[in-house]
Amino acid sequence: DTAVSQTPKYLVTQMGNDKSIKCEQNLGHDTMYWYKQDSKKFLKIMFSYNNKELIINETVPNRFSPKSPDKAHLNLHINSLELGDSAVYFCASSQWGESTDTQYFGPGTRLTVL
């Protein structure tokens, strides 16, 4: 009964490879997010989708491409991986418009680029 799930939990890959991270939420929310948490624990939003429409697109290299096939899923594809992409990536979801806007986070995907 996991609310927000991500796969894989760990991802180790070589520089230059392409990889994807998948996220699914079963909370019935209409908004999903991708965050990056670096080695200093700093948490920064990358993208947000509302009803499959991109609404937040921060200054992120275009090697990162989110895709939302439906409201319950938001995937992140990363091309030509670089050392600096090593981080923990969190998916989150919320219900747009609610006054409290609680964002529910997944368990994270630890990406290590060698």
Partner 1 sequence: QQQVKQSPQSLIVQKGGISIINCAYENTAFDYFPWYQQFPGKGPALLIAIRPDVSEKKEGRFTISFNKSAKQFSLHIMDSQPGDSATYFCASRGSSYKLIFGSGTRLLVRP
The residues that touch partner 1, with contacts defined as CB under 8 A, are 4, 31, 40-45, 48, 55-56, 90, 92, 94, 96, 99-108
- Closer residue to partner 1, CB minimum distance, 65 or 104: 104
Of residues 54 and 114, the one with the C-beta less far from partner 1: 54
Cβ-based nearer residue to partner 1, 10 or 18: 10
Contacts of 96 (CB under 8 A, 6+ apart): 30, 31, 50, 51
CB of 108 to partner 1, least distance (A): 5
* Phi, psi torsion values for 94, nearest 5 degrees: -160, 170
**Rounded least distance, CB 93 to partner 1, Å:** 11
CB of 23 to partner 1, least distance (A): 11
Cβ closer to partner 1: 80 or 102?
Answer: 102
> Please, what is the minimum distance in Å from the beta carbon of residue 78 to partner 1?
19
Q: Give residue 10's identity as a one-letter amino acid code.
A: Y
